Amino acid sequence: MIKSAKHIALVCPGGPVTRELAEKTASIAAARFGDSVKLHFHDQCFSAAGHFAGSDAERSAAFLEVANDPRYDAVWFARGGYGACRFDEALFAKLNDHARKKTYLGYSDNGMLLARLYNDGIGRPVHGPIPADLPREGGEEAIARALAFLVEGDASGVEPTARSGKKCAAFNITILAHLSGTDWMPDLSGHIVMLEDVGEYLYRTDRALFSIMGDKNVHNAEGIMLGRLSDIPENDRPFGASEEEVIKYWCARAGVPYLGRADIGHDGQNKIVPFGAAPVS
């Protein structure tokens, strides 16, 4: 049985975080939840190897270590940024029974790991805020929202549609497009799939949706919802369609229902989306 977290381990599958950010996150946790929660930032979070928070082997080992450790109730990804797909493929077969009882929380590039864990039936993958969101407007409340979910099972910060009892999943559009056609891509049949993105030209979003909507794992989804597309660069010539017109086009072409907007995105208002059917509350 997946339980609410009391002792939470943090790792960085992509880039590193600073000790200052870790300390601020711990201060928020202590102020809001007192002794009911303990955060453990793995030393790997502060490593640096070029773009990454340590080598591929170091990042893989840190994740495997905390996932398999019975002392931790959840694994919270401290930062997004490219790197999750470079994890050692062999580690997933090494995840033990303790790993299968944990909640795994993150979003953006961490969606790679959430997808793989969901595909393999390991633990409870959850899309939601991460400590790296702290500098954003509303970042402190986003962190408190994630902690309330992890520590108390508080569903008030869960995206409204995900509270309906329907099976859901949430991804960054670019990440889901890169998952398409790989062994990490989960079967999303019967799911409401929520999509968001940041910093992408609309033509790139359009291209990514070609991959997503052409994937057999998406064909039988209950429908697609569009979260926020933020910081869209201005191209040298207008794309000629709005972000919602783009998603409607690809949904119609694939025969997958478009179900409207979702309250997720790369911002401080980003809501929580447990993969699968969340408890109704």
| pLDDT, tens digit, 9 for 90 and up, residues 38-49 | 999 999 999 999
Which residue, 157, 178, 194, sits at the end of a domain? 157
For the cut 90, the answer to whether the pLDDT of residue 3 exceeds it is no
**What is the per-residue pLDDT for 279?**
61
Assess if residue 253 is contained within a domain: yes
Count structural domains, the chain: 2
Q: How confident is the model at residue 277 (pLDDT cuts 50, 70, 90)?
A: confident
To the nearest 10°, report the CA torsion of 176, 179, 181, 186.
-80
Does one domain contain both 57 and 79?
yes
Which residue, 122, 157, 192, sits at the end of a domain? 157
pTM of the full structure:
0.96
Does one domain contain both 92 and 193?
no
**What is the per-residue pLDDT for 114?**
98
**What is the per-residue pLDDT for 44?**
98
Share of the chain above pLDDT 90, in %: 95
Does one domain contain both 113 and 165?
no
Instruction: Say which CATH number the domain at 22 has.
Output: 3.40.50.10740
Mind listing the pLDDT tens digit for each residue in 105-145?
999 999 999 999 999 999 999 999 999 999 999 999 999 99
Assess if residue 270 is contained within a domain: no
Strand partners, 193: 169, 224
Assess if residue 224 is contained within a domain: yes
Does one domain contain both 64 and 193?
no
Does one domain contain both 53 and 178?
no
Between helix 19-33 and helix 139-152 the angle, nearest 10°, is 60
For the cut 80, the answer to whether the pLDDT of residue 4 exceeds it is no
Length of the chain: 281
Does one domain contain both 169 and 223?
yes
Assess if residue 33 is contained within a domain: yes
Does one domain contain both 219 and 127?
no
Q: What is the distance between the alpha carbons of residues 29 and 144, in angstroms, rounded to a whole number?
A: 7
Does one domain contain both 144 and 203?
no
Which residue, 123, 139, 157, sits at the end of a domain? 157
Assess if residue 98 is contained within a domain: yes
Name which of 129, 134, 154 is nearest 23 in CA terms. 134
Q: What is the largest CA-CA distance in the chain?
A: 55
Mind listing the pLDDT tens digit for each residue in 151-175?
999 999 999 999 999 999 999 999 9
Mean pLDDT of the chain: 96
Does one domain contain both 194 and 80?
no
Specify the DSSP class assigned to residue 49.
B
Instruction: Say which CATH number the domain at 177 has.
Output: 3.50.30.60
Does one domain contain both 153 and 18?
yes
Q: Which helix (H) or strand (E) holds 112?
A: helix 111-120
Mind listing the pLDDT tens digit for each residue in 78-94?
999 999 999 999 999 99
Assess if residue 267 is contained within a domain: no
Q: How confident is the model at residue 280 (pLDDT cuts 50, 70, 90)?
A: low
Strand partners, 38: 7
Token representation of residue 2: 């997946």
Assess if residue 239 is contained within a domain: yes
Structural domain containing residue 205: 161-261
Does one domain contain both 61 and 126?
yes
Does one domain contain both 212 and 246?
yes
Assess if residue 179 is contained within a domain: yes
